[in-house]
Amino acid sequence: MDIIFSVIREDTFWRILLFCHFLMAVALLAAVTLQAASVLTSARQAAGNFIDRLSPVPAASYAAVILILYMPQALLGAWMYLK
């Protein structure tokens, strides 16, 4: 950590990590929202022309993306907030 702190200030380092944590959280929220929308639109109820033209991605394909986003986000948050 001393090598990093010799390049940038300590509070700047933590702000950068907090911003990365925020970006991963927003991306995870977007992935979960898209998965929920995919589940809801797969029913294809009579909702109008817009829903009929959509070709939703299968909801199961979001599982890997959510896992890939969740693990580093949770680990970074756990490490960062313990420090």
Cα dihedral value 4, 9, 12, 17, nearest 10: 20
- Tens of pLDDT, residues 12-57: 999 999 999 999 999 999 989 888 877 776 555 555 555 555 556 6
- Tens of pLDDT, residues 53-78: 555 666 677 888 899 999 999 999 99
Token readout for 14 is: 């933590």
> What is the domain count for the chain?
1
Which are the contacts of 83, defined by CB distance < 8 A and separation ≥ 6?
14
Q: Which domain holds residue 29?
A: 2-82
Provide the residue type at 58 as one letter.
Answer: P
Q: Are 83 and 21 in contact (CB under 8 A)?
A: no
